[in-house]
Structure 1
Amino acid sequence: MPSRIVIADDHPLFRTALGHAVGAAWPDAEKIEASSAAEARAAVEVGADCLLLDLHMEDSHGLSALMDFRQDFPAVPVVIVSASETPHVYSAAAQLGASAFIPKSASLDNMREALVAVRDGDSWFPEGEGEVDEDLARIASLTPAQRRILDQMRAGLLNKQIAYELDISEATVKAHITAIFRKLNVISRTQAAMLSAKLDVDQLDANAGPG
């Protein structure tokens, strides 16, 4: 059977460019295009040998989308495609399980090189990868349910509101928050929200500063 490659990006022209790179790495591949994380998820659920994932689609929330796909489809390599081009972002993507990171400014040859590496079971990241971030390691230790609650906390919702949104009891929310605080080594909702901001690619770019 031919390989099945899912290309998730909300810009049609860039999906086309990625499609050319995919064709160079997997000449006989079936290429499935998606313009949102939801469409990508539906496609991967049918089956995929690789997912190319843009981090800036309307319904994808930075590196949270990467974590969700790695959690739910651990056998599917995820190649991040992003206009964010700082070592902090490269490092965060690698740390959270991406197999490769392709900057949108990359040449077609570099895109093909990255995809061939992933096809062959290797990883590929631009030069200048940053250091391991212990906070990201703590965030990665959270369960999907805990990450959802952390997202709601970051949005400023109270326990009662979180319980309503997720259709669980308030006692369950409190138990999850206790576990979240312990795993993140924080003592307040504010501290937890500040750590979760590290999944925001724009925030990582800003923190990288000039240079």
Structure 2
Amino acid sequence: MTAAANPFNTVPGAEEIRVLIADDHVTVREGLAAIIGRQPDMQVIAEAANGREALEMWQANLPDIVLLDLRMPIMDGVAALNAIRGLDSAARVIVLTTFDTDNDIALAIKGGAKGYLLKDAQRSELLDCIRRVHAGETCIPPALLAKLITSLGTAALSGRELDVLTRVAHGDSNKEIALRLYVSEATVKSHLRSIFGKLKVISRTEAISVATQRGLIRS
């Protein structure tokens, strides 16, 4: 009689993958905990409702995998990711979020995330990602990887250019921006020319639209 196939690709007697879930929505945490808890090769060892708790729970439990939301109170996901990776460069973190802008993806990957999934991913995708990252692989869906490549191929806006673009998004005129940032109108115009060139746009409205889509500014 042949042995039954192992659908989870686990080794009999192997230790379970210990997972920390960090998300500020309790229903999301409970749903993830239920899905993960039903897997014979995984267990949820801790939950966190914000970035600071995620860091504290990571230090206290040293999980194999962290499922980390990006937008959380007190300390956001990117800050928590950087803090965790600062303590252990081998920490395996998967970002699980609703945000798919290329800037968000780039910040997470540059911060050391080994996986990036959207919350509408299929359950099988999530579980496969956890197992792959635990095995030392990187897990980024092709569509999100394409956005990341687009981001890396675009010249980054400077801090001052982001300041100017944010004021543009608030509807400020060049004169108002100059007054707020303590620079000349000529300097503002120079920054706008650079912004338009980097974003490959020709108008303020288009610049705001592209920057919002890429997560450079918040709508």
**Which range, TM-score by smaller chain?**
0.5 to 0.7
Q: Note the C-alpha offset of 1:8.
A: 0.5
Write the distance in 1 (CA, Å) between the matches of 2:70 and 2:99. 9
Instruction: Provide Cα deviations, 1:20-69, integer angstroms capped at 9, x if missing partner.
Output: 44336663524311111121111111222111111111122352332222
What percent of counterpart residues are identical? 24
Q: How many residues align?
A: 149
| Structure 1 residue 33 corresponds to structure 2 residue 47 | yes
Q: Per the alignment, in what secondary structure is the counterpart of residue 101 of structure 1?
A: strand
Instruction: Provide Cα deviations, 1:55-101, integer angstroms capped at 9, x if missing partner.
Output: 11112235233222211232220111111023443343223210101
| Structure 1 residue 82 corresponds to structure 2 residue 88 | no
Greater displacement, 38-47 / 123-132: 123-132
Q: Note the C-alpha offset of 1:205.
A: 7.2
Matching residue of 1:17 = 31
When the two chains are superposed, the root-mean-square deviation of aligned CA atoms in Å is 3.5
CA gap of 1:96–1:124, structure 2 versus 1, over 3 A, is same
Amino acid at match of 1:133: L
Q: Note the C-alpha offset of 1:15.
A: 0.9
Amino acid at match of 1:27: D
Name which one, 1 or 2, has greater alpha-carbon Rg: 2
**Larger relative contact order, structure 1 or 2 (CA cutoff 8 Å, min sep 6):** 1
CA gap of 1:4–1:67, structure 2 versus 1, over 3 A, is same
CA gap of 1:62–1:53, structure 2 versus 1, over 3 A, is closer
CA gap of 1:62–1:76, structure 2 versus 1, over 3 A, is closer
- Structure 1 unaligned segments of length 5 or more: list them: 138-149, 155-189, 191-202
Q: Per the alignment, in what secondary structure is the counterpart of residue 84 of structure 2?
A: helix
| TM-score calculated relative to the size of structure 1 | 0.58
Matching residue of 1:133 = 152
Q: Which has the higher helix share?
A: 1
CA gap of 1:57–1:125, structure 2 versus 1, over 3 A, is same
